[in-house]
Chain A
Amino acid sequence: MKPDPKKSSNAARPNGPGAGKGSSPNVSAKSPANEAEPTAGLAHTPIWLIILFAALFYWGQLYLDNHAGGFDPQVYEPYESAKLVKALNTGADDLAAKGEPLYGMVCAACHQPNGSGGALAPPLAGSEWVTAADPSRLIRIPLHGLSGPIQVKGQDYTFPSGMTAMGEVLSDDSLAAILSYIRQSWGNSAPQVTPAQVAKVRQDTANRPMNGTATWTADELLKVPLAQ
């Protein structure tokens, strides 16, 4: 039998007393080849740890009762309950607020951020096309585009290039949001346009292509009947 491999100054101690406790009987702790391996004593888990465990568990339940929003997938920080979230959600989305950034991206380049119009497009602020109580004509403009001479606020405009059709790229929701925004900004105050209204117009004009080949003219739009 070879002597125990190198002991560094700090390390190996062969079979210590006490180390054999609890180890299985088939291992002879005395054999020099069988260095004692660690074993565990049989002291009991202290009762205070169990009590603390129970107390923490109870706290955990209380915490989840108060801070988990009833495990409702609709409840996010910082709200406390589904009831509160529902109460705050009136269902009436603020379409105009959603439309503001979209207007900035899609329309403002021509109609200006303040709706004043200019070299590229007529004004939207104060325009009767925008604020008409029934939005059926208004919705048609961005859906299919508009060209030819047009009168806005009593003034005649002609823009050779006209306005492009955007019905293919803007969803009902986005269009409703943009139109609600222009109807409620810069002094305009008309009721918002709902996505359902946009969908209805899309349906009514289903055979009109939205690729810019069938833009409206002002005269044509004026023939579209309005609900009073």
Chain B
Amino acid sequence: MPAETGSSTACSASPPVPVNEIDRSCRTPVVFLLACSQAWLVIGLLFGVISSIKLHGPGFLSGSEWLAYGRIYPAAQNALAYGFAAQALLGVGLWILARLGRVTLQGAGIPIVGGIFWNLSVALGLLGILAGHNTAYDWLEMPRYASGPLFFSYLLIAICAIMTFKLRRECALYVSQWYLLAALLWFPWIYSTAQLLLIIFPVRGVLQAVVNGWFVQNLFDIWLGSLGLAAIFYFLPKTLDRPLHSRYLALFGFWALLFFGSWGGMYAGAPVPKWLGSLSIVFKVMTLIPLLAVGLNLYRTMAGKWSAVKTDAALGFVALGALCYLLVGVVGILSVLRTVSERTLFTLFTPGMTNLYLFGFVALTVAGAMYYIVPRLLEAEWPSGGTQTFHFWTSVAGIALVTLPLLFGGLTQGAKLNDPQAPFISVVRSIIPFLGLSTLGGTLLLIGNAALLGRISKAMLATCCGSCCPGLLSASQKPRALASGGKV
């Protein structure tokens, strides 16, 4: 990464743009992406809860084929990955790039158009999945007529991000910018490769599983991982108001993640030549190094300021998100080891890890970022602190319940499945309590996030109405900027 030493470009020539101007340029696109992503989170959770109930109450909503488990479960997954996680982290990333570059968001209309089409594509894709047009590839279930538009909408958003990066006024690069740039370029590569090799010119036989495994590995460990880390590396020092512990440690962790995180994705015992599984294991285990580098860096940055977590909501969420990142990383590494994977493969363990990743790492980090960004962009006060506390504790309890029961349930399920004496139906019966707990957790997450969605909509509405027809608002609803006489 070129850093302070980078040859002088446009960045040193022009003066930095004032913060409030940057925020104003980000307002519409970033708030749009964040609000839509929160809506997808709620939809994804709703679908997730429905599919989870079906696992222990198979009669539930069994009348409609559109809501069959095999359709609604992948629909939930795709709503969460593409509607929520990707969109939210891209929105946060755009703002971080503008702030760190000390420049307004370039071509701010482009990501709005991109965002609109992104959301339409996700909606189309989910409808396709519910209608039965599932491609049957993990995390790529959206049919072709949705994945194509999705890809091009992404390019629009990414072009704006890269232009903003290129035209930055601040030459020195910060850690978050490395991660964002890597992630922005990574997605087109993995997504187009997977689409070409699986859907358009499908490779033959088990090679499909290999390509799919590679894609999923890169989607989570590199793409969503880098986007999330960019936010964590930004907000932790920012809200603590102190520099990140070490640039060198961050650099080490960054390259180690890109190198070791991008291989593999196969599991031991898959019907492919043995070296593929073994290579995947070795590379996954090596991701312990970037994990430790990130963990250590954040830990040292936090050192001595732990109590700030209690007073600063944004910091609290982001710090907990970072903790989940480290946890899911360690669990993920353990789960590929041959002795563990022969027990956890094809059990509840895998969805347990996915939940920890999406609801722990991604959703908490995004929530922290939103608590920081949205009031600034809307120039409005958040409505009361009550929703915030409610959202925090439903999140914590919800994440614990959608994660721990599935992880432990997966371990017992695997042990029983490997025992030829245990009748299959008794294995199925024994995991019902774990599934029930995870339905409960999903419901808690759903309620908490619906509350946050309501809160964001309210703030948006207040700002929106405030700027066009202030007379309609009662004094209490007025955004503070207006109340204090500032103009928007």
- Chain A residues with CB under 8 Å of chain B are 1-13, 16, 18-19, 21-24, 26-27, 31, 33-46, 49, 52-53, 56-57, 59-60, 63-64, 67-77, 79
A-side contacts of B273, CB under 8 Å = 69, 71-76
Asked if B28 lies at the interface with its beta carbon under 8 angstroms from chain A, I say no
Q: Tell me if A75 and B275 are in contact (CB < 8 A).
A: yes
A-side contacts of B372, CB under 8 Å = 11
Q: Tell me if B376 and A10 are in contact (CB < 8 A).
A: no
Contact of B274 among A45, A53, A56, A77 (CB under 8 A): A77
Chain B nearest CB, measured from A9 CB (Å): 7
**A69 CA to B380 CA, complexed, in Å:** 62
A-side contacts of B326, CB under 8 Å = none
B-side contacts of A6, CB under 8 Å = 375-376, 379-381, 479-481
Give A9's nearest chain B residue, CB to CB.
B385
Q: Tell me if A27 and B278 are in contact (CB < 8 A).
A: no
A-side contacts of B243, CB under 8 Å = 18-19, 21-22, 38-41
**A7 CA to B376 CA, complexed, in Å:** 7
Contact of A19 among B242, B250, B268 (CB under 8 A): B242
B-side contacts of A56, CB under 8 Å = 285-286, 288-289
Annotate B128-140 by CB proximity to A: 1 below 8 A, 0 otherwise.
0000000000000
Chosen A-B contacts, 14 in total, with CB atoms closer than 8 Å, are A3-B484, A8-B313, A11-B371, A19-B241, A19-B242, A37-B99, A38-B176, A40-B247, A45-B293, A46-B249, A52-B292, A60-B282, A63-B282, A77-B269
**A11 CA to B316 CA, complexed, in Å:** 11
A41 and B246 in contact, given A4-B20, A6-B480, A33-B19 (Cβ under 8 angstroms):
yes
**A13 CA to B256 CA, complexed, in Å:** 33
Chain A nearest CB, measured from B380 CB (Å): 6
Q: Tell me if B244 and A27 are in contact (CB < 8 A).
A: no
**A7 CA to B373 CA, complexed, in Å:** 10
A-side contacts of B480, CB under 8 Å = 6
B-side contacts of A35, CB under 8 Å = 19
B-side contacts of A4, CB under 8 Å = 19-20
B-side contacts of A12, CB under 8 Å = 376
**A56 CA to B484 CA, complexed, in Å:** 59
**A18 CA to B245 CA, complexed, in Å:** 12
B-side contacts of A21, CB under 8 Å = 243
**A61 CA to B452 CA, complexed, in Å:** 49
Q: Tell me if B486 and A24 are in contact (CB < 8 A).
A: no
Chain B nearest CB, measured from A199 CB (Å): 27
Chain B nearest CB, measured from A173 CB (Å): 19
Q: Tell me if A38 and B233 are in contact (CB < 8 A).
A: yes
Asked if B175 lies at the interface with its beta carbon under 8 angstroms from chain A, I say yes
Q: Tell me if B247 and A11 are in contact (CB < 8 A).
A: no
Q: Tell me if A3 and B296 are in contact (CB < 8 A).
A: no
Given contacts A2-B20, A26-B170, A69-B273, could you give 16 more A-B pairs where the C-beta distance is less than 8 Å? A8-B371, A9-B385, A10-B311, A10-B314, A19-B237, A26-B15, A33-B19, A33-B20, A36-B241, A37-B174, A39-B244, A42-B247, A44-B248, A56-B286, A76-B272, A77-B268
A-side contacts of B486, CB under 8 Å = 2-3
Chain A nearest CB, measured from B238 CB (Å): 5
Chain A nearest CB, measured from B282 CB (Å): 4
Chain B nearest CB, measured from A45 CB (Å): 5
Q: Tell me if B18 and A34 are in contact (CB < 8 A).
A: yes
A-B contact count (CB 8 A): 191
A-side contacts of B314, CB under 8 Å = 10-11
Q: Tell me if A44 and B246 are in contact (CB < 8 A).
A: yes
Chain B nearest CB, measured from A96 CB (Å): 25
Asked if B458 lies at the interface with its beta carbon under 8 angstroms from chain A, I say no
A-side contacts of B12, CB under 8 Å = 24, 26
By Cβ-Cβ distance, the 10 closest A-B pairs, closest first, are: A33-B18, A16-B241, A40-B247, A43-B246, A68-B275, A38-B237, A60-B282, A40-B244, A24-B172, A67-B278
Annotate B288-312 by CB proximity to A: 1 below 8 A, 0 otherwise.
1100110010001000000000011
Asked if B16 lies at the interface with its beta carbon under 8 angstroms from chain A, I say yes
Contact of A24 among B170, B176, B375 (CB under 8 A): B170
**A24 CA to B16 CA, complexed, in Å:** 11
**A8 CA to B268 CA, complexed, in Å:** 50
**A79 CA to B275 CA, complexed, in Å:** 11
Annotate B226-255 by CB proximity to A: 1 below 8 A, 0 otherwise.
000000011001110111111111101000
A-side contacts of B277, CB under 8 Å = 77
Give B375's nearest chain A residue, CB to CB.
A8
Give B23's nearest chain A residue, CB to CB.
A5
**A57 CA to B237 CA, complexed, in Å:** 32
Q: Tell me if B381 and A8 are in contact (CB < 8 A).
A: yes
A18 and B20 in contact, given A10-B311, A49-B296 (Cβ under 8 angstroms):
no
Chain B nearest CB, measured from A57 CB (Å): 7
Asked if B42 lies at the interface with its beta carbon under 8 angstroms from chain A, I say no
Chain B nearest CB, measured from A69 CB (Å): 4
**A77 CA to B244 CA, complexed, in Å:** 45
A13 and B288 in contact, given A39-B174, A43-B248, A64-B279 (Cβ under 8 angstroms):
no
Q: Tell me if B481 and A5 are in contact (CB < 8 A).
A: yes
Q: Tell me if B250 and A40 are in contact (CB < 8 A).
A: yes
A69 and B248 in contact, given A8-B381, A57-B286 (Cβ under 8 angstroms):
no
B-side contacts of A7, CB under 8 Å = 375
Give B24's nearest chain A residue, CB to CB.
A5
Q: In chain B between 170 and 191, which residues have their CB closer than 8 angstroms to a CB of chain A?
A: 170-172, 174-176
Q: In chain B between 341 and 365, which residues have their CB closer than 8 angstroms to a CB of chain A?
A: none
Give A66's nearest chain B residue, CB to CB.
B278
**A106 CA to B385 CA, complexed, in Å:** 74
**A75 CA to B276 CA, complexed, in Å:** 10
Give B13's nearest chain A residue, CB to CB.
A26
A-side contacts of B379, CB under 8 Å = 5-6
Q: Tell me if A49 and B239 are in contact (CB < 8 A).
A: no
Chain A nearest CB, measured from B1 CB (Å): 12
A8, A53, A67 interface centre (most CB from chain B within 10 Å):
A8
**A60 CA to B287 CA, complexed, in Å:** 12
A46 and B242 in contact, given A64-B279, A74-B273 (Cβ under 8 angstroms):
no
Q: In chain B between 450 and 488, which residues have their CB closer than 8 angstroms to a CB of chain A?
A: 479-481, 484, 486
Give A8's nearest chain B residue, CB to CB.
B375
Q: Tell me if B272 and A38 are in contact (CB < 8 A).
A: no
Chain A nearest CB, measured from B455 CB (Å): 12
A-side contacts of B99, CB under 8 Å = 37
A43 and B241 in contact, given A53-B289, A64-B279, A68-B278 (Cβ under 8 angstroms):
no
Asked if B71 lies at the interface with its beta carbon under 8 angstroms from chain A, I say no
